[in-house]
Structure 1
Amino acid sequence: MKKLAILGASYLQLPLVEKAKHMGIETHCFAWDNEEAVCKHAADFFYPISVLEKELIYEHCLKIGIDGITTIATDICIPAISYAAEKLGLVGNSYQTALASTNKALMRAAFFKHEIDSPRFAAVQKYEAKTFESFQFPLIVKPTDRSGSLGVTKVYNEAALAGAILEAASESIEKKAIVEEFINGSEISVECISHAGQHFLLAITDKITTGEPHFVELQHHQPSQFPEEMQAAIRDLTFSALDALGIKFGASHSEFKIDTNGQITIIEIGARMGGDFIGSHLVKLSTGYDFVKGVVDVALGQFENPVLKGQKFSGVYFLSKETENLLPYFQRENAFDVEKKILKDQIEPIKSSNDRSGFLIYQSDHRIML
């Protein structure tokens, strides 16, 4: 029986644990032991080790004799995965690639080096006026190494910039913020899987967010409604950006903005499956391709080129104070329902994806607009 190490134990990893077990693979899960570790009881073995402890994870994996190591939908695990895979001679991206794909400042530097259009930026620990003398407001401020809209703020002037930097840096593991010139436009993401440097585009996802100041995602829809020529340009830019970061294996989730003139600007790339049910649910619902199985197969060295089996429409709506008008759809049965859940007794406003109060996943023969 093959053995798969899985980093992270939250609900995000549950589809991965369940898929691997369904495939007859022995699962070894590493994560903090807290109330969010729902995979603790789902995996065959659980190790209460921080996913940041790369050396300790490597030592355990060496002792266990794992055949592959992976995760889905979370950035924080990526460096430890690449570190262990590299030292064990397993399939995976290099450790340097892992760092570049999880640190927005390193990522921006790689894009600029390879002449890939992305926003002007500065990585800082605190506000210093001279750093931003030539920057054009508005600016977007983020932690350098977090996802899920944590610590993200749009600012219009220098008076607000210092506080936004402090907030973003406080959410950062390395206690740094990245400040970028704001790019206006529609948001999309591109879901890919790669093997030995060959990239396969699975889906392009259209997004709706709360807008400023925090830009938390409220809706995701597949397939994209952008025209085919635009989608071809998005694909080409995605593959170039993946090459720039050195991403050769596994899932990737690339985010872009497209302005009213059709200019495509890359925002960031994660060397992992998209969260928010995009990778774990929507890709299979819209294309028929089992993305989670594909991730397992890459990690274990048994990957086969993906076959997309037809086109359906799928998406997810998130419940919050901002989308409280959707509550009736959560409370009744709908013909398009795949899965839905109200997560909190009281519907709350959101500043990050952690604040959402529920979700509704759909599949249909057309895009569902609620």
Structure 2
Amino acid sequence: MKFEYLNKKLAIIGAGYLQKPLVLKAKELGLEVHCFAWEEGAVCKPLADCFYPISTTDKNAILKECLKINIDGITTIATDIAVPSVNFVAQQMGLIGNGDCNSLVLTNKYRMRQVFDRNQIRLPKFVRINESSPVFKEDSFRYPLIVKPVDRSGSRGVKKVDESSGLELAIKTAQKESFVNDCIVEEYIEGDEVSVEAISWKGKHYVLAITDKETTGSPYFVEVAHHQPSRLPQKIQSNIIQETEKCLTALGVKNGASHSEFRIDPKGDVFVIEVGARMGGDFIGSDLVELSTGYDFLKGVIDVSLGYFTTPKKTYNKCSGVYFLSKERSHLQPEITSGTEKYIVKAQMTNPEIRCLTCSDDRSGYLIYQDSHKVIL
């Protein structure tokens, strides 16, 4: 154990499979780990030093325990729902975070778009639909449209609508998935989709990787694969990096990981879709960044939460990626179950039932690779 981690206590909000890489890394560093989550699905419970059966959204109860423990840092990865609790506790205890006042913006797609609009950041035309403004003025928008809840991830409740006949049902579905019965409708941008992993320290942003995404396409756009590094032209990648930095600054993201999503239209214009003040899920942040660059992103996130920071260094350039198993991609099953190819880093069946995809929860397994070139399966 390095001296800086000696007797340090880290609170991790969440204890599901998304947090498992973070818990394992913290334990590897020698930290005392305290996890907060409901017991159902808490795979990290036996891995943590202490587990608290408290909702990830109950920030006051979490704060009460963190004060008793006298934690040295607090963080989460790959989930938006825990971000408000992380920021609240960090602010109350004088720890590293992004400020409790930013949480509503960082976890609400409508408020986020308002910030982008005010800061003249290019984004699709959008409108909010809720109980107080239930009418969609169709003649001022261009089809196709994307309908999504304001506060969910993993493609839950997201649907592309090509004509007006399908709009009402899509809105009702998105509102039902929303925690606050709220959704947005925005014009669909044709083109490539990427995400950007970055880490920030005191307002300075360091882009680590741009990830090319593959999705099921219309109507649900569930992500089926991710690949690093991006194959987009360098000029477009430079624009994406600039837009990422503008978005993070506008949203008040000063410390820790971020995951930003963009679409690039056929003309090469970059449109922001959304930004999360946390590491990306789907193994992008926890696995792919280190596999493609050599930078230990998990350790970087932990270090920031504890008040340490070292400028990220990429020690090599390799290709990495993840493929997800579904009925649409059932040809992947032999690769996942055998796991014998040299490029396979990790592979697992997560559900014996292979289903069609309507959201990321429908995926049945995954395969993570690293190679000198992009692996096409």
Out of 68, 71, 74, the position equivalent to 2:73 is 68
Deviation, structure 1 residue 173: 1.3
Q: Give the 3-state SS of the residue equivalent to 1:50 in structure 2.
A: coil
- Secondary structure of the 1:173 match is coil
**% identical equivalent positions:** 53
Distance (whole Å) between structure 2 residues aligned to residue 337 and residue 250 of structure 1: 29
* Equivalent residue number for residue 79 of structure 1: 84
Deviation at 1:132, TM superposition (A): 3.4
- The worse-fitting range, judged by mean Cα deviation, of 53-62 and 215-224 is 53-62
For residues 136 and 353 of structure 2, the distance between their equivalents in structure 1, rounded to whole angstroms, comes to 44
**1:302 and 2:316 aligned:** no
Partner of 1:183: 189
- How far 1:123 moved relative to its partner? 1.5
In the alignment, what sits opposite 1:322? 328
List 4+ stretches of structure 1 deviating above 3 A.
Answer: 126-133
Q: Secondary structure at the match of 2:261?
A: strand
Amino acid at match of 1:269: V
Residue number among 261, 270, 277 corresponding to 2:276 in the alignment: 270
Contact 1:125 1:165 in 2 (8 A): no
Name 1:347's counterpart in structure 2: 354
- The offset of 1:121, in angstroms, is 1.2
Q: Is the 8 A contact 1:207 1:219 kept in 2?
A: yes
CA contact (8 A) 2:125 2:187 kept: yes
Which residue in the other structure is 1:258 paired with?
264
Structure-1 separation of matches of 2:289 and 2:97: 22
1:38-117 alignment runs, 5 A limit: 38-117=43-122
The aligned counterpart of 2:29 is: 23
Q: Which stretches in structure 2 are left out of the alignment for 5+ residues?
A: 1-6
Give the counterpart of 1:163 among 166, 169, 173.
169
Gap runs ≥5 in structure 1: none
Describe the shift of the 1:130–1:342 C-alpha distance in structure 2 as closer, same or farther (beyond 3 A). closer
For 1:225, the equivalent position in structure 2 comes to 231
CA-to-aligned-CA distance 1:242-261 (integer Å, 9 cap, x gap): 00100000000000001111
1:264 corresponds to which letter in structure 2? V
Structure 1 residue 129: Cα displacement: 4.1
Amino acid at match of 1:338: V
Q: Which residue type is aligned with residue 37 of structure 1?
A: A
Shift of 1:208: 0.5
Separation in 2, partners of 1:8, 1:157 = 39
Contact 2:212 2:231 in 1 (8 A): yes
User: For the residues of structure 1 that align with 2:358 and 2:280, how far apart are their CA atoms?
Assistant: 19
The answer for the alignment partner of 2:140 in structure 1 is 134
Instruction: Give CA deviations for 1:313-350 in whole Å, capped at 9, x if unaligned.
Output: 00000000111122222233111010001112221111
Matched, 1:336 2:365: no
User: Partners in 1 of 2:74 and 2:138 — Cα distance?
Assistant: 41
- Preserved CA contact (<8 Å) 1:7 1:51: yes
> Once the 2 structures are TM-superposed, how far is the Cα of residue 156 of structure 1 from its aligned partner?
1.9
The letter of the residue matching 2:274 is E
Q: In 1, Cα distance between the equivalents of 2:55 and 2:236?
A: 41
| SS across alignment from 1:38 | coil
Q: CA deviation at 1:130?
A: 4.8
Tell me which amino acid in the other structure corresponds to 2:241.
Answer: R
Between 155-164 and 240-249, the greater mean CA deviation after superposition? 155-164
Mapped contact 2:129–2:135 kept (Cα < 8 A): no
Residues 149, 158 of structure 2: 8 Å contact kept: yes
Which sits farther off after the overlay, 310-319 or 58-67? 58-67
The one-letter amino acid paired with 2:302 is V
Task: Check conservation: 2:129, 2:136, Cα contact below 8 A.
Answer: no
Aligned to 2:250: 244
**What are the superposed Cα offsets for residues 129-167 of structure 1, whole Å, 9 maximum, x if unpaired?**
454331111110111011110010111223211111111
2:127 aligns with one of 122, 127, 135: 122
Q: Distance in 1 between matches of 2:85 and 2:180?
A: 15
Alignment counterpart, residue 201 of structure 1, candidates 207, 220, 245: 207
Count of aligned pairs between the two proteins: 369
Contact 2:192/2:264, CA 8 A, preserved across alignment:
yes
Once the two structures are overlaid, the 10-residue window that deviates more, 342-351 or 141-150, is 342-351
Aligned mates of 1:41, 1:197 — CA distance in 2: 36
Q: Distance in 2 between the 1:350 and 1:31 partners?
A: 27
Q: Is contact 1:195–1:249 with CA below 8 Å preserved after alignment? A: yes
Once residues 127 and 99 of structure 2 are traced to their aligned partners in structure 1, the CA distance between those partners, rounded to angstroms, is: 25
Amino acid at match of 2:92: K
Matched residue SS, 1:341: strand
Q: Secondary structure at the match of 1:39?
A: coil
CA distance in 2, matches of 1:22, 1:156: 49
Q: TM-score under structure 1 normalisation?
A: 0.98
